[in-house]
Structure 1
């Protein structure tokens, strides 16, 4: 049962590997297991996928636009008429837009690419671990990645995170290959993938760069100068892969391209280093609405508290313990030891990403933690493999036993958060199985005297004990539709610090079916106990019923988006071919709903949060005079921000502002914005019509006295 790593095998010549690849394919236990893992992952991620509809309508509408307009596809426009982009670069939209163009607009054409990215991520995680561990361990790492609840959520959702995680794991795999072979081209490939990661979700892609740079400088083959030179190649490739699109966007005249949402000066660089960069770290106001006011309180325990804990941390304590222990056992290994290099890469990526998520003072959403899933799984499995190889010594067995015990206890805690069945019973099963397996690990060297099968049984019990909890949460997540922009995984939706319904978590918000939860302002608001009738989130999960912080007007949930009525959709389609935009409305979430519902281009005034100066009143008047906009739809509309009202005596913290279209209550005032100027001008000059509760102005029919 003892597995060994042959250093020579990991540095075999490229020709030998090529010869191996040319041999006829034969089924082996390893290949069969890998195919089974990938097949089950695909089945799970594609299962009932269409029940989530378009999931995040904000990105679905942009994919729709990209499927109809190559200009919208290239720039990442939200609308077919190319008025404004989404507040992210367009790489993930390139994939979805091509899918829509090939297969037509549907839930499957939007979401299936995300699921396939998840399958590829699992395969690459297997590949990383297989370099330094037996194939059953690599299978375990891939399976643990697939079963991470955050992965089961985001690889079935159309946010940019799925592509980002795939690119980052690909960069990690390429780095290991560069260390293994000494070939600069692998490190250059890592740089290219990181660059496209930037074009997916900007600076978050660079969170693993410190680990990649440090690992290659430490463990890369050849002289130090050669390793530095290869690092320069990687950095140059990263800049080119990210910079070509940025250069085109910045150099193209503004009149030829859409406005960059999330910026105040129509600049992708401002978006990258402002709202989506420094603003996410310090909470500063770089995008109009600011970065304050979202997420649980920052701190070292943020990932372990509330919803985030059940989404990602099942194996995080084990990964941290095993990382330190394995590095201690490998302290005398050669500089180029591939096992230690892999641990430094996966563990370093895990630590840097986790610490940034824990302490970032700007917007933090629980689903961000999907970026940790492959690093935690790989670190835990490789670390456990190192200690398993040294199980003849009592110290290694004790560390393994203590780690498994800690994992079982933590799973018992997490499973107890939901206070539902089958989790309330399952937690005791996990605890009992973990305790038994931990005891077996402590004496496994003696148990092996009775045969190798005993050790295999102990390992199997350990694997099952750490996998049951996340698997149960992942299955629940797969079986639950998720829509909107703020989504979570697992049955637990609040009640603890930082979670829904607890201090530092979201508070209740009225305005749509289920009463979506609104994230708390910095410092946290007490949202009350979980399970309130008005706190539903993510397809029916219960959240907290706390004080009414905001009142939402309109028909949708928090940044959610709803289906529009048939009458309104038909109205927008009428003579739509004569106009560049069938309608205009405030906020991108509202515009996305109308565009998806009607299939026609809808202009977003003010972008995602309604505060981007994407258009002036004069420009809007010129568009109307030139007959380029047919209708104006008042209010937040389906899924829009709607009308907010602050309770008496309450003020928004920091630099946070009410979204455009909002009305200040007794707690504070809100400066007039372009969107309100446009709304006022339309109301004064055009006659309104009520369409199924939505106020619509025909901009081709001015009032008689205007």
Structure 2
């Protein structure tokens, strides 16, 4: 009787171990629920702390939301300016959510950022569910914690660039895709197509980066005949295109005279925008040279100076792009600029794919784990390939890669632990993964003087010590489970060994999250107003020199409107008279703050980057003659006065104006230049120093 009691006690002690390592419970225990709640609270804190210190975030998008609030016409067409002249170069859905938030809580930086911050928290919960439902609660908790602490995830959730909304939407789509793959039901696949179509209306073709993973997972894993799977995918594709292109088709079918010009296009088409600027341009790149067409009042051209300036501007633009993301390369995600944003746990994610593929015979139609391998593995590989070869993208676009890395990292830790406590060569993968991942993190940090002195020894030292301890323990102690995953003994010794080793692996995993936490914390506590990328940025010159930008601690919220703009706006409003547009600009840069401060129509004749051909010279002159336009604020008109014999000759040089060069040259030639003393501040750090203000009400 006593022996039986002892056996029962041992089995009861081993059962939680089996449930954790091999047979994930369907319902989490109460303390796993507590851990999940703590992770969600941490994500909420990091996403919302000092959100008001960020200001309006991206002024270009914030100005568009301000304009969309003023009329249903602007709301539907996503107009950048209150006058409905040109659109934002993105689809509407993400900004509609921001408009809803502003309607509910008033126009402020916090209300603009609220949808993204909420999407970041929801994404943590979604990723936990997607991983835990197949690989158990520990894998789900680790994946959720990794997503919470990934630097790029934090800064994207604290920005109004709508990328985190897209991540949240694609994670919902991934959940429905897995349901469709497991059951073979068409309705789940159609819901997935609907969600990806909605994602297209958030960020256009960026949403389609998940399609290879979704399509292959369903095609290979759904429990249906192959022709049924193909038919289902065909039907889902039709629905996907219908939802994706519904708004695009309505805009393009609306007469051009009854809607704003589609920004960042040459043919005023949303379809062209989705395939061009927001599509192939990101992959193939578009680095236009400055369009230099000098003109003089005496028709005498200048030859050298404009060309030299043009080459300098082009070289500067190319160097800046290379500094931000680096050149296309198979190892680009491990470079100094991008590695610290998303790649901290990439070795773990890569090893997870290998481990999962080797665990038994591949059965995609029967095994949930193998279906998840397809989903997360192809998700990671597709986006890794895209970001390695794409010529032009912003750093925060890579947040689409983060869910796959975090999911596979969480899965990898659990699977490698399962292999560690069993016999076989795969048991050595866990110590190797700890050393490889910590070494990579040390390589990332070595360029950051001041941080590398304590971070590198801490991370590498503790992880190598943990790996050494695990290796020695594996040599000295028999594995806890046999090949089939059953306990080797009914005694309590295996359980005791388990609880001895668990603190070691726990500390090692937490140490691997130290560096991402430091980078994330920098963007939350030190520089909460940082946009686009986390942590102190490393700029790499063309010669390979490294410059580390380490600004001081941000001690107060940012100034939402520069004092120089305040004086400019006051001058424009005082002298506007009956003009429809408050001012005309070449790019959205100077227009955005004016729109945010006044809510008045501002004409941006070149779109976001200044290269759009929206109005012709004749149309611009007509608007001036009608009194609709009075003031022009340009930075690319340069006047050079020199003597030719006994005469003074004024040369008008127009740089970087694209197809608008003739219209801008006309302004510089026929309109009156207003003295800077009347509308701006005599400050060397004035953000408007490079601009000139022209009055065309009495043009000649």
Equivalent-residue separation in structure 1 for 2:661 and 2:98 (angstroms): 30
Compute the displacement of 1:186 (Å): 2.0
Residue of structure 2 aligned with 1:365, choices 367, 376, 394: 394
Change (3 A) 1:374 1:431: same
Match of 2:65 in 1: 63
1:464-543 to structure 2, matched below 5 A, reads 464-481=510-527, 487-491=532-536, 493-494=537-538, 500-502=539-541, 525-526=542-543, 528-531=545-548
Q: Which residue of 2 aligns with 1:271?
A: 273
Shift of 1:408: 1.2
Is 1:378 equivalent to 2:407 in the alignment?
yes
Deviates more, 1:212-221 or 1:183-192: 183-192
Query: What displacement does 1:606 show?
Result: 0.4
Does the aligned pair in 2 maintain the 1:250–1:267 contact within 8 Å? yes
Matches within 5 A, 1:559-570: 564-570=564-570
Distance 2:162 2:638 in 1: 29
Task: State the partner residue of 2:605.
Answer: 605
For the 8 Å contact 2:561–2:597, the answer to whether it is kept is: no
- The answer to whether the Cα contact below 8 Å between 1:573 and 1:598 also exists between their aligned partners in 2 is no
Report the structure number with the largest CA radius of gyration.
Answer: 2
Shift of 1:79: 0.8
Aligned to 1:623: 623
Structure 1 partner of 2:487 = none
Kindly report which structure 2 residues correspond to 1:349-364, keeping only aligned pairs within 5 A, or say none.
Answer: 349-360=379-390, 362-364=391-393
Specify whether residues 607 and 297 from structure 1 end up closer, same or farther in structure 2 by C-alpha distance, changes over 3 A only: same
Alignment equivalent of 1:461, drawn from 507, 511, 518: 507
Per-residue CA shift, 1:638-684, capped at 9, x if unaligned?
xxxx9899xxxxxxxxxxxxxxx9855xxxxx787325524533651
> What secondary structure sits across from 1:417 in the alignment?
coil
- 462, 475, 478: which one pairs with 1:433? 462
Structure 2 distance, partners of 1:611, 1:92, is: 25
Q: What is the CA distance between 1:270 and its match in structure 2?
A: 1.5
**Which one of 357, 370, 393 corresponds to residue 340 of structure 1?**
370
Q: Using the TM superposition, give the Cα deviation of residue 429 of structure 1 relative to its aligned residue in structure 2, in angstroms.
A: 1.4
Distance 1:576 1:169, change over 3 A: farther
Return the offset for 1:208: 1.2
Aligned CA distance change for structure 1 residues 586 and 334 (closer, same or farther; 3 Å): closer
Say whether residues 1:692 and 2:680 are aligned partners: yes
Instruction: Indicate conservation of the 8 Å contact 1:563/1:593, yes or no.
Output: no
DSSP-derived class of the 1:530 partner: strand
1:581 matched to 2:626? The reply is no
**Deviations 1:398-420, CA, capped at 9 Å, x for gaps:** 01221111111112222222122
| 1:359-410 CA-partner distances (Å, limit 9, x unpaired) | 11x3133222211111101012223333333331232320122111111111
- SS of corresponding position for 1:581: coil
Question: Within 5 Å, which residues of 2 pair with 1:30-429?
Answer: 30-284=32-286, 294-295=321-322, 296-333=326-363, 335-360=365-390, 362-391=391-420, 392-421=422-451, 423-429=452-458
Correspondent of 2:698 among 681, 685, 702: 702
Deviations 1:433-456 (A, max 9, x none): 212332344446369452442243
Deviations 1:242-301 (A, max 9, x none): 111011011000111111111111111212222222222222579999997733110111
**Gap change, CA 1:133 and 1:93, over 3 Å in 2:** same
Contact 1:606–1:675 (Cα < 8 Å) also in 2: no
- Does 2:18 align with 1:2? yes
Alignment map for 1:620-699 (pairs within 5 Å): 620-635=620-635, 673-674=659-660, 677-678=663-664, 680-681=666-667, 684-686=670-672, 688-690=674-676, 691-693=679-681, 695-699=692-696
**Hey, what's the Cα distance between the residues in 2 that align with 1:594 and 1:315?**
43
SS of the aligned residue for 2:338 comes to helix
2: distance between equivalents of 1:124 and 1:262?
Answer: 34
Q: How far 1:582 moved relative to its partner? A: 1.9
Q: How much does 1:47 deviate? A: 0.9
Contact between 1:585 and 1:603, CA under 8 Å: does it hold in 2?
yes
1:671–1:470 CA distance, 2 compared to 1 (3 A): closer
Aligned counterparts of 2:167 and 2:516: Cα–Cα separation in 1 = 19
Between the aligned partners of 1:568 and 1:136, the Cα distance in structure 2 is 58
d(CA) in 1 for partners of 2:521 and 2:658?
A: 47
The answer to whether the Cα contact below 8 Å between 1:175 and 1:216 also exists between their aligned partners in 2 is: yes
Range with bigger deviation, 597-606 or 672-681: 672-681
State the distance in 1 between where 2:553 and 2:59 align: 15
Q: Once structures 1 and 2 are overlaid, which stretch shifts more, 41-50 or 445-454? A: 445-454
Tell me which residue corresponds to 1:571: 571
3-state SS in 1 of match to 2:240: helix
For the 8 Å contact 1:561–1:589, the answer to whether it is kept is no
Q: Distance in 2 between matches of 1:314 and 1:424?
A: 18
SS of structure 2 residue aligned to 1:389: helix
| Partner secondary structure for residue 583 of structure 2 | strand
Structure 1's 644 and 242: CA in aligned 2 closer, same or farther, altered over 3 A? farther
Assess if the C-alpha contact under 8 Å between 1:283 and 1:292 holds in 2.
no
Say whether the 8 Å CA contact 2:612–2:658 is kept in structure 1: no
Return 5+ residue gaps in structure 1 as ranges: 11-19, 21-25, 495-499, 503-524, 541-559, 637-641, 646-660, 665-669
Q: Using a 3 Å threshold, how does the CA distance of structure 1 residues 428 and 584 change in structure 2: closer, same or farther?
A: same
Match of 2:296 in 1: none
SS in 2 for 1:582: coil
TM-score, normalized by length of structure 1? 0.79
Tell me how far apart the structure 2 counterparts of residues 334 and 313 of structure 1 sit (CA, whole Å).
28
Matched, 1:596 2:584: no
Deviation at 1:56, TM superposition (A): 1.3
Following the alignment from structure 2 to structure 1, what is the Cα–Cα distance between the partners of residues 286 and 252?
24
CA displacement at 1:573 relative to structure 2: 4.5
Query: Number of residues paired by the alignment?
Result: 612
